[in-house]
Structure 1
Amino acid sequence: MNDKRLLPLFFLLLISMAIRGQTVTVLDAETGKGIANVAVYNSDKTKTTITDNEGQCDLAPFGTNQRITFKHISYETFVTSKAQLRKKGNRVYLFTKAEQLDEVVMSVSKWEQQRKDIPQKIASIDAKSIAFANPQTSADLLQQSGKVYVQKSQLGGGSPMIRGFATNRLLLSVDGVRMNNAIFRGGNVQNVISIDPFTVKNTEVIFGPGSVIYGSDAIGGVMNFFTQDPRFSYTDSLSVSGSANYRFSSANTENTTHIDLNLGHEHWASFTSLTYNSFGDLRMGAHGRDSYLRNNFVVRENGQDVLVANQDPRKQVGSAYEQINLLQKIRFQPNNMYSYNVGLYYSETSDYGRYDRLIRPNSAGDGLRSADWFYGPQKWFMGNLQMTKKGNNKFYDGVKLTTAYQFFEESRNVRDFGEEVLNNTTEKVDALSFNLDFENKKIGDLQLYYGAEYIFNHVGSTGENRNISTGESFRAVSRHPDGSQWQTLAGYINGEYRAKPNFTVLSGLRYSNVWVNADFDTTLFPFPFEEANLNTGALTGSIGMSWFAKEDLQITLNGSTGFRAPNIDDIGKVFDSEPGSVIVPNPDLEPEYAYNVDIGIRKNFNDKLILTTAAYYTYLVDALVRRDFSLGGLREIEYLGEPSNVQAIQNAANAYVYGLEFGLETYFNENWSFVGNLTVTQGIEEDDNGDESAARHAAPTFSDAHIIYKNQKLKADFFLNYNGEIAFEDLALSERSKDFIYASDANGNPFSPSWYTLNFRAQYQITNALNANLALENLTDQRYRTYSSGIVAPGFNMVVGLGYSF
């Protein structure tokens, strides 16, 4: 009787075990974490399923010996059978797509290439590294790589420096579309903060000229940001996934929230992202130079400017700002041959103070020069459409058409202490671009990449003076000639030839033609000319080789040229560059050219120790630099009510930059490792008289060293950041005039001191869906200012982040 009662329970147990035997768990081979949204299907896709948030799925519909494919965009595809899975405990371990030398990169040809075949140095920062670093902005993302130096005039900024070049001599692109526009300036450029780091799946930085593929501006390097692509479901049903993140940092009371949502079907997918940042005034460290303190600031009381004492001199009043970023991408892939991608991007900041101008002393040295100096909202919109076709063709194996429209808006608002008039200049740029890129793999061991590009920029620029007491306003001189145009048409060809299995040659040529048209308004400013018309061309080329002398020893050698054509900012800007000086237009400009050679060595010691080193030399001819100038015979004019020395951008210098870059990776065991980087840069400018001075954008020696521990749930990093000193005699002439942002040496001369910080960060996987980040930055609370920066770096900073995925 009792045995009969137990019999149904026995059968239920057998059924439960059978069902459990049909469930498989898909895990990350490195972290052991379950992988959601893995497509699972048979050879003809008649049977499909997808893993849930825990990485599990039911294989009951599949036959015992049927071949089953596991596919995910971020992992290597895996094929097996149910019979084999049972032997492995119904677990599948997927490996992330190949990294290091086997990594696929897009930046050199705009098509996928093996990194090991590329002779140029490329730094790749993937989504996992970004999530672990948890940066506030994309400028911080670059800086935290340890390979790019970043200058900051204010908290709402970040101007990268690469191999002695910066600003409009570096090219910035997003999803294959260049962000550089006709008003990118030689002064510090903050546009990189418009890119939301939460949406970046990979960043590739090319070191050295990239003009063959990217044209004008790519002299010192190229920074490519690739944002998240919508993910297909690979099944007939709709898949829904997403994430939510929150971050807080104590140094500037940051509050950041982010959400994203992915909808995927078999042939179409959508990705939507929203991020909101709120940054308070930045607080500097406790231990350092008193000259960096913010002792006072200006307030408006009863219609008067008043200089008041700062109750907390470590608080950098005027640095707070807010930002919002939106992204919408839609992808349609009707078959394996065609793919269509649409992207809509939007970023906008609040007003944000230019901190280095807010702390600039007046001529008497007893107060501050500016009562107001802030940027209006920095706005960026981009809409792009990319169509890709793959398949055999007489002239190509792949063709990609990329079209984009971008809108940029920025403004400057300046009012001197005690003055009633606020001067505003507003710039708006409409930018159209068309790129047609081909890939051809058919010619034996030769692979060709070729294409064409057209870019058109229209610049709108206005100036206004407004009395803040009466509200009365009237026209003022604009920063740039209103209605000016910049355009370029180019064609390129790039070839990759595998001479031997261990020897690859990469070479290319590009011809670019550039037109600039600008009309000057002489009613408000005494220009001795009425227009500027530039029509110039440039031929650039590169040749390099990648040679594996041994299986574990790679040697690269690369020679390349780059150029930068004058833009509207060079030719037509009117701006007070420094106290007592004003930059005026100069329509007689020519392109500047760079000639570069670099060599790299990478040695792998049994996968336990990896050493990399690179040496480079770049020579810049006809460099566009700011020099004293004569405007209609006048060496001094009045600008904004102040007598000002006349200067202009001129082809008045040559420059040479050289340096060394070192990298080290050591793997002690599966849990512990060490990673370090060191960059040494020297730059010299030489004017027409043969006089030499330090190059402005040659960063000081900088390095980082990381001791890393990781297991399946925890990754922790204890690291050191170091910057070397730049003595007064090695400081660029343009920097010496900004003594208020520098320390003073024993002789009272400005210099940039060395500094270091000790830091710790960790990421813990609480569950498969929930993770937490903790960072303790600048543990010893140092007070320091990075080279050429206006704002003082954060003191001790605790960063807390939470992320949830579904």
Structure 2
Amino acid sequence: MKFILSFFVWIFFVGTIQAQEIQILEQESKEPIAGISIYNASRTKSTISDFDGKAVLDNFSDFETIYFEDLLHLKIESNKSKIIENNHIVLLEAKIEGLDEVVISASKFEQSKRDIPQKIISIDAKKIQLINPQTSADLLESSGNVYIQKSQLGGGSPMIRGFSTNRLLITVDGVRMNNAIFRSGNLQNVISIDPFTIQNTEITLGAGSVVYGSDAIGGVMSFYTKKPQLSYSNKTYFKANAIARYASANEEKTGHLDLNFGLKKWAFLSSVSYSNFNDLRMGSHGPEDYLRPEYVVSNNGVDEIVANSNPKIQVPTGFSQINLLQKVRFEPQENLSFDLGLYYSTTSDYSRYDRLIRYRGDELRSAEWYYGPQEWFMGNIQMTKIRSNSNLYDKIQTTLAYQNFKESRNDRSYQSNLKDIREEAVDAFSFNADFEKLLSAKTELFYGVEYVYNKVKSRGEILNIETNETEPTVSRYPNGSNWQSVAAYTSVKFKPSEKFILQSGLRYNYIFMHADFSENNLYLNLPYNETNLNFGALTGSAGISWIPNNIIQWKFNLSTAFRAPNIDDIGKVFDSEPGSVVVPNPDLKAEYAYGGELGLTLNFNNILVVDLATYYTYLDQALVRKDYSLNGETEIIYDGELSNVQAIQNASDARIYGFEAGIHLNFSKQFKLTSQYNVTGGKEEYENGSEIPVRHVSPNFGNTHFIWQKNKFLVDAFAEYNNELSFYQLAPSEQDKDYMYALDENGNPYAPSWYTLNLRTQYQITKSATITASLENITDQRYKTYSSGIASPGRNFIVSLMYSL
């Protein structure tokens, strides 16, 4: 009898517990939503939904009003009885994209985007899955606010508001990727970041030097990778994702697998991605100047120029890439966590295509010009503590990181026996400590310290391909040089009401670097053997966000930013263009930017949202490449060729300005339109009063999307478009690169306008399987993005299948 009674009590108990459990789903996609705050009116009772969107409401009474809220969905209220009647399901409607998202990059701690006076673009994992980018450079381009230049298929150099390369900052999980050899020429380091592992990407448009220091002049691209998920119970939480993808334009074959094991206090995330790309096919309709009529092949050491059987195939451009990620999370208590991250990426050798299409007379100039594997390793450990009782902070986050970068350049002239090989490596150490303190109900303080140390290794050699013998030659950088930065910053957010927010901040950086030129002086005969640079830099910002009513939001921001010279600036030796060589210059100072930005958002009942922004930046003492003399000589022999001498110099000022407009129109819950358009202009002014166009000011560009989504099916029909840059709108350095551009009626290089029409679809086949298919550049246009050596893909069919457990 006791057994029977106990059995019925157990059945009743289990049934009661199950009756209290609910699941929170997104209204359109029916996907579970984690992290929803659930509370009563007095906030005396509360809980949070888990990773499966589930929560237990046993603390709430049947008819008590319960609120469900987070920053990405509309707040609703209900009670337990109604929810049980609805099969224990709570449906939340997503807010309009981008209006009130949580962002981290503005202060390194979570804030509502509404509170931040700068414009920040956010792309989450769900959007990334739909965009289906081949590289993280393609992911940035999809934002509609970032312009991407490519010198080769294994490339992708972002341009933001007229700035690029080492005037933009890249961070991965809060660690700066920029190192001492980030150059002013186009960079492809962003492709080392695996888009399959990204949980969220935040693009800060405009200066970010107060929080991030040197290089953050034009913008900050912050990549946050996925975190291991704990189970918070004695039951193991397991999740796996497998993805396969194919693209027709370059015959891409990609595979990805990630596994998550979550325990009560420990969690582990492992990820691997592999991609193989063949030579890229350009479109059929466009300038014939972009075609590849011939290329060089080498047989038994003999070079020969052969006709290309299909001039639309850009030979050679193929390469492969592998990305590995391992993360470990330990959460000993609710407010304390430790995160370990190990990241590794490497490519195969890949050709620098824009160097292979140059001619010397009637013959191709180079037999070989390729980068060796681009390798990147990072290990970081991060400690985060929240809800602290300390008088100094409420939240603290410390990050200790080590990175290693390796790259090389290999080139050989047509029918030459000598191959020039230059290899570089950088060891980069960094430490950050960031703090948040709520001083009052209206005032919040952010502050932190940072230390960065970079050590550069560089060597050069000449290989005789006939005898296989090598001899040393001038290296690209002074071997053993180092670059260091020490900084402290503070920022205050004052929010007297929900309608008005003021944020201001200051940062002081002290930079010191050392370069030893004695090894390269065996070949260059520089008038100095070493250089030491030491200087401080003070930057600041102040901005307001004003929301006078439910329709209007104004944002206004003033800021200063700086870029300190690095080892690439003071010590590089390389052939910048045919017939020119850049040599070291130890007499450099930091360049400073002074800018202002005004933004206006109009929100008409979440049906129509218009987002406008205008900005102006003055760049003082800009570091630019300019003619130079070495020991009184304006020409020297470099790699066997008489070359014009150039060097990086503080030789100009620049004025850059622009306008951005975006709209988001909801025709219905299922059908919407989004569009973005960007206008940028700028001039560089030299000491003699002459003015030239700024090299990295992109053409006007934009996109328009029509998106329809219902239940498990989504369709995105979109166009991308780009204005022309005439010959006279090109910077002089670009005018000299006629091999990269189309030719106008006068035979001068210019960048033609272009457009593409595209269709993207996504269908959730089952709860576990999702297929994404795209047809890009439907009309098979032949085009190049501005300043790119390689033509963009022609008509391209992309299909991927994702399976999740």
Q: TM-score range by the shorter chain?
A: over 0.9
Q: Residue 438 of structure 2 aligns with which residue?
A: 441
Q: Residue 272 of structure 2 aligns with which residue?
A: 274
1:467-546 superposed matches below 5 A: 467-520=464-517, 521=519, 522-546=521-545
The answer as to 2:317 corresponding to 1:328 is no
Alpha-carbon offset, residue 746 of structure 1: 1.2
Q: Residue 8 of structure 1 aligns with which residue?
A: none
Q: Residue 726 of structure 2 aligns with which residue?
A: 727
Between the aligned partners of 2:548 and 2:71, the Cα distance in structure 1 is 33
Between the aligned partners of 1:666 and 1:49, the Cα distance in structure 2 is 31
Q: Secondary structure at the match of 1:493?
A: strand
Between the aligned partners of 2:62 and 2:222, the Cα distance in structure 1 is 45
Between the aligned partners of 2:109 and 2:359, the Cα distance in structure 1 is 51
The answer as to 2:270 corresponding to 1:257 is no
Cα distance, 1:541–1:205 mapped onto 2, change above 3 Å: same
Q: Residue 693 of structure 1 aligns with which residue?
A: 692
* Per-residue CA distance 1:496-519 (angstroms, 9 max, x = gap): 011333111100000101001000
Cα distance, 1:738–1:671 mapped onto 2, change above 3 Å: same
Letter of the 1:315 partner, please give it: I
Alpha-carbon offset, residue 39 of structure 1: 11
The answer as to 2:405 corresponding to 1:399 is no
Q: Residue 588 of structure 2 aligns with which residue?
A: 589
* Per-residue CA distance 1:241-285 (angstroms, 9 max, x = gap): 110001100000000000001111222211111100101100000
Between the aligned partners of 1:150 and 1:645, the Cα distance in structure 2 is 30
Equivalent of 2:236 in 235, 238, 255 = 238
Equivalent of 2:338 in 327, 331, 340 = 340
- Asked if the contact 1:379–1:410 (Cα under 8 Å) also holds between the matched residues in 2, the reply is yes
- Asked if the contact 2:462–2:471 (Cα under 8 Å) also holds between the matched residues in 1, the reply is yes
Alpha-carbon offset, residue 442 of structure 1: 2.3
Alpha-carbon offset, residue 741 of structure 1: 0.6
Cα distance, 1:427–1:135 mapped onto 2, change above 3 Å: same
Q: Secondary structure at the match of 1:116?
A: helix
Between the aligned partners of 1:136 and 1:219, the Cα distance in structure 2 is 27
300-309 or 576-585, which deviates more? 300-309
Alpha-carbon offset, residue 392 of structure 1: 2.1
Alpha-carbon offset, residue 338 of structure 1: 1.2
Equivalent of 2:424 in 422, 427, 435 = 427
Q: Residue 247 of structure 1 aligns with which residue?
A: 245
Alpha-carbon offset, residue 96 of structure 1: 5.8
Among all aligned residue pairs of Structure 1 and Structure 2, give the percentage whose two residues are the same amino acid: 52
* Per-residue CA distance 1:68-106 (angstroms, 9 max, x = gap): 999999989999876443211332335568953321111
Alpha-carbon offset, residue 683 of structure 1: 1.3
Alpha-carbon offset, residue 302 of structure 1: 3.4
Q: Residue 7 of structure 2 aligns with which residue?
A: none
Between the aligned partners of 1:20 and 1:693, the Cα distance in structure 2 is 73
Letter of the 2:28 partner, please give it: T
Alpha-carbon offset, residue 631 of structure 1: 0.5
- Asked if the contact 2:627–2:645 (Cα under 8 Å) also holds between the matched residues in 1, the reply is yes
Q: Residue 389 of structure 1 aligns with which residue?
A: 385
Cα distance, 1:650–1:41 mapped onto 2, change above 3 Å: closer
Between the aligned partners of 1:385 and 1:98, the Cα distance in structure 2 is 35
- Asked if the contact 1:24–1:92 (Cα under 8 Å) also holds between the matched residues in 2, the reply is no
The answer as to 2:373 corresponding to 1:377 is yes
Letter of the 1:374 partner, please give it: Y
The total of aligned residue pairs comes to 786
Q: Secondary structure at the match of 1:582?
A: strand
Equivalent of 1:295 in 293, 296, 303 = 293
Between the aligned partners of 1:418 and 1:170, the Cα distance in structure 2 is 39
Q: Residue 714 of structure 2 aligns with which residue?
A: 715
Alpha-carbon offset, residue 389 of structure 1: 1.6
The answer as to 2:672 corresponding to 1:669 is no
100-109 or 460-469, which deviates more? 100-109
Alpha-carbon offset, residue 752 of structure 1: 0.5
- Asked if the contact 2:26–2:33 (Cα under 8 Å) also holds between the matched residues in 1, the reply is no
Between the aligned partners of 1:690 and 1:473, the Cα distance in structure 2 is 48
- The Cα RMSD (Å) is 2.8
* Per-residue CA distance 1:576-618 (angstroms, 9 max, x = gap): 0000000000000000000000100000112111001100000
Alpha-carbon offset, residue 556 of structure 1: 0.7
Cα distance, 1:389–1:66 mapped onto 2, change above 3 Å: farther
- Structure 2 segments unaligned to the other structure (5+ residues): 1-10
With normalisation by structure 2, the TM-score equals 0.93
Alpha-carbon offset, residue 670 of structure 1: 0.9
617-626 or 266-275, which deviates more? 266-275
Cα distance, 1:157–1:563 mapped onto 2, change above 3 Å: same
Alpha-carbon offset, residue 757 of structure 1: 0.5
Cα distance, 1:504–1:779 mapped onto 2, change above 3 Å: same
Letter of the 2:565 partner, please give it: P
- Asked if the contact 1:119–1:556 (Cα under 8 Å) also holds between the matched residues in 2, the reply is yes
- Asked if the contact 1:439–1:450 (Cα under 8 Å) also holds between the matched residues in 2, the reply is yes
Letter of the 2:393 partner, please give it: Y
Alpha-carbon offset, residue 443 of structure 1: 3.1
- Asked if the contact 2:57–2:80 (Cα under 8 Å) also holds between the matched residues in 1, the reply is no
Q: Residue 181 of structure 1 aligns with which residue?
A: 179
1:223-234 superposed matches below 5 A: 223-234=221-232
- Asked if the contact 1:230–1:271 (Cα under 8 Å) also holds between the matched residues in 2, the reply is yes
Between the aligned partners of 1:537 and 1:24, the Cα distance in structure 2 is 58
Q: Secondary structure at the match of 1:550?
A: coil
Q: Secondary structure at the match of 2:739?
A: helix
Between the aligned partners of 2:311 and 2:438, the Cα distance in structure 1 is 62
88-97 or 371-380, which deviates more? 88-97
Alpha-carbon offset, residue 29 of structure 1: 2.1
- Asked if the contact 1:488–1:513 (Cα under 8 Å) also holds between the matched residues in 2, the reply is yes
Between the aligned partners of 2:177 and 2:243, the Cα distance in structure 1 is 27
- Asked if the contact 1:37–1:72 (Cα under 8 Å) also holds between the matched residues in 2, the reply is no
Alpha-carbon offset, residue 62 of structure 1: 10
Q: Residue 641 of structure 1 aligns with which residue?
A: 640
Cα distance, 1:347–1:655 mapped onto 2, change above 3 Å: same
The answer as to 2:568 corresponding to 1:572 is no
- Asked if the contact 1:26–1:34 (Cα under 8 Å) also holds between the matched residues in 2, the reply is no
439-448 or 599-608, which deviates more? 439-448
- Asked if the contact 1:101–1:114 (Cα under 8 Å) also holds between the matched residues in 2, the reply is no
Equivalent of 1:156 in 154, 157, 164 = 154
Q: Residue 131 of structure 1 aligns with which residue?
A: 129
Cα distance, 1:771–1:361 mapped onto 2, change above 3 Å: same
- Asked if the contact 1:38–1:70 (Cα under 8 Å) also holds between the matched residues in 2, the reply is no
- Asked if the contact 2:157–2:164 (Cα under 8 Å) also holds between the matched residues in 1, the reply is yes
Alpha-carbon offset, residue 488 of structure 1: 0.4
Alpha-carbon offset, residue 393 of structure 1: 1.3
The answer as to 2:740 corresponding to 1:744 is no
Q: Residue 306 of structure 2 aligns with which residue?
A: 308
Cα distance, 1:579–1:325 mapped onto 2, change above 3 Å: same
Q: Secondary structure at the match of 1:285?
A: coil
- Asked if the contact 1:21–1:90 (Cα under 8 Å) also holds between the matched residues in 2, the reply is no
Cα distance, 1:594–1:48 mapped onto 2, change above 3 Å: closer
* Per-residue CA distance 1:684-721 (angstroms, 9 max, x = gap): 11111110000000000001011110011111111110
Between the aligned partners of 1:286 and 1:201, the Cα distance in structure 2 is 37
Alpha-carbon offset, residue 527 of structure 1: 1.3
* Per-residue CA distance 1:772-803 (angstroms, 9 max, x = gap): 00100000000011100000000000000100
Q: Residue 790 of structure 2 aligns with which residue?
A: 791
Q: Secondary structure at the match of 2:333?
A: coil
Between the aligned partners of 2:172 and 2:23, the Cα distance in structure 1 is 33
Alpha-carbon offset, residue 523 of structure 1: 1.3
334-343 or 31-40, which deviates more? 31-40
Between the aligned partners of 1:37 and 1:100, the Cα distance in structure 2 is 19
